[in-house]
Structure 1
Amino acid sequence: MTSAQRFTLSSLLSAPPEQVWERVSTLSGVNAEMAPWFRMTSPPGTEDRLTPERVVPGQRLFRSWLLLGGLLPVEFDDLTLVRLEPGRGFLERSRMALQRTWEHERTLEPHAEGTVLTDRVLFEPLLPLPGQWALFAAVFRHRHARLRHHFGGRALAAPRRSGDVR
């Protein structure tokens, strides 16, 4: 049996939280963060923006396929939010094909220079494949770099491994 692993990383973005939220609360914004490595799908007719009216905490929104290079399905995510606070962040606890546990918390905090965006990720692989922590950390480093490119800003904290969680 594998154990859960976690990491945290933060960036200071040169835009107010409301402006950052407008981008990070949409599937098109998430896909812009992950491009060109990955793209997430959504069912036809799905609204792009996450709003409290659309989200029932703890209830699956939809199944999203994670496509490598935007084409090759490599994972699915039964996208489930347990908390959604517009302008402040969300907590996702989703079922995935290759992860026993997947939890992604994103927070936005006002700062004199813009917004501090922090991602906390906890995952527990079904299979103990080497390099998973490094892969997920690289994907989130890339996502933060894309956000900093879009809004301006700087990295505050590189992914820190918080150790294995039992």
Structure 2
Amino acid sequence: MKPVILTHDYPFPPERVWALATDYDALKEVMDGLVTFEGVPEGRTVTGQKMDVTTSLFGRLPPQPYYMEVVECDDDAMVLRSSERGMGVRSWQHTVTVEPTAEGSRLTDRIEIDAGWRTPIFRAWARFMYGRRHAPRMRMLSAGWGD
């Protein structure tokens, strides 16, 4: 399985980008218009969290069951790994890393997807969806999120 890998640079300290990337309320905001979630907790991700949620693409398609587990959330290393499945996906393994750069920080999403014959469709969706998160994150950080 070839992973989908996207990197985005931010002119903000890595600690702020990390805090934003691991906050469930921020997740709902950056996913606004793409996917709605029911059953996602408030606060930050924590290693070991297991969630049975419902998701709806674009908030218009029928809600579907979806399972998410936080395999690792390491604040010191700024690494988040989740294992997910549902909506026709057998396995969605997502790793988020944030690292410092000379200009601020770099967030990298690495996603491995197994959806059988639909894998290429879900890979395209992942590339679009994770790419679209960058602009809302920039707006939120520019507006002072995490200061």
TM-score (norm 1): 0.73
8 Å contact kept, 2:12–2:105: yes
Cross-structure match for 1:155: none
Give the distance between the partners of 2:106 and 2:16, measured in 1 at CA: 12
* Structure 2: stretches of 5+ with no match in the other structure: 143-147
Give yes or no for the alignment of 1:37 onto 2:27. Answer: no
Give 1 or 2: higher strand fraction.
Answer: 1
Secondary structure of 1:128's match?
helix
* Pick aligned residue for 1:69 from 45, 58, 61: 58
Give yes or no for the alignment of 1:27 onto 2:27. Answer: no
- 1:150/1:100 CA distance change after superposition, 3 Å: same
Superposition pairs for residues 98-137 of structure 1, below 5 Å? Answer: 98-128=88-118, 131-137=121-127
Give the distance between the partners of 1:121 and 1:76, measured in 2 at CA: 20
8 Å contact kept, 2:113–2:122: no
TM-score (norm 2): 0.81
1:130 Cα shift? 6.0
Q: Deviations over 1:33-58 (max 9, x none)?
A: 11111122226xx332123xxx32xx
- 1:63/1:15 CA distance change after superposition, 3 Å: same
Structure 1 stretches of at least 4 aligned residues deviating more than 6 Å after TM superposition: none
Q: Which moved more, 1:132-141 or 1:143-152?
A: 143-152
1:114 Cα shift? 1.2
8 Å contact kept, 1:107–1:118: yes
Give yes or no for the alignment of 1:10 onto 2:42. Answer: no
Give the distance between the partners of 1:28 and 1:126, measured in 2 at CA: 31
Letter in 2 for 1:67: S
* Structure 1: stretches of 5+ with no match in the other structure: 153-166
Give yes or no for the alignment of 1:78 onto 2:78. Answer: no
Give the distance between the partners of 1:8 and 1:21, measured in 2 at CA: 17
Q: How many residues align?
A: 141
Alignment RMSD: 2.3
Larger RCO (CA under 8 A, 6+ residues apart):
1
